Chains A and B, each alone.
Chain A
């Protein structure tokens, strides 16, 4: 027997509630070599953040792969390290593509 919850508007509403209150991470990040290059240059996260004019947490999140920078910040990082973007950020495909 069809339940009250199977009626279309209710289904939409329940799907919306699920979308709103879920806590699963949706972020797919690219790998990067920021930590490696920063350490080779002898800089701390704080110093790098100061030069890039971002917060230290942003540098930490970038290094841990929890956050993808905007294209502007990616260019800024590449310019600061005097290298190309693709030498720092490595795209290995989206897991959801597989």
Chain B
């Protein structure tokens, strides 16, 4: 069994366990927040694990399809397109987040909410500057 398959089986089991925890234990305690987190995360993990496992099983049965999927994933044009689109999306977030912070201030939202948005904006910039330095050294 491949490492990937093992990981997805573990995620699937964890998802079922979280949903089970909510259904059999937390339902009676009445903690709505914790119940919501368990159902949400559990269902997400179950869906992801099951989906990935099915795709791995289908691909294992059809090696030619696996080769094609690998070629599509490693195709340099696809990677280039993906990188460019992601770079544009980052630029768009640079525009959207300050506007969002301004709107939140004008709406009179609590300072913490505004600071969280600004924190997200600065994290994006921090990551960008970090990778700039890394790639400057590498190339």
Q: Are B78 and A55 in contact (CB under 8 A)?
A: yes
Interface size on B, residues (CB 8 A): 13
> Which residues 1-42 of A have a CB within 8 angstroms of B?
13, 16-17, 19-21
- In contact, A20 and B88 (Cβ under 8 angstroms): yes
Chain B residues, Cβ within 8 Å of A19:
91
**Which of A13, A49, A69 lies in contact with B76, CB distance below 8 A?**
A69
Cα A73 to Cα B78 with chains together (Å) = 13
Total residues of chain A contacting the partner, CB 8 A: 18
B95, A67: Cβ atoms closer than 8 Å: no
Residue pair B95, A20 in contact (C-beta under 8 Å): yes
Q: Say if the beta carbon of B138 comes within 8 Å of chain A.
A: no
Give the CA-CA distance A49 to B9 in the complex, in Å.
35
A92, CB-defined interface residue at 8 Å: no
Question: Measuring CB to CB, which residues of chain A are less than 8 angstroms from any residue of chain B?
Answer: 13, 16-17, 19-21, 49, 53-55, 57-58, 61, 67, 69-70, 72-73
Q: Which of B76, B92, B94 contacts A73 (CB 8 A)?
A: B76
Mask for B73-98, Cβ within 8 A of A = 1, else 0?
01111101000000010011011000
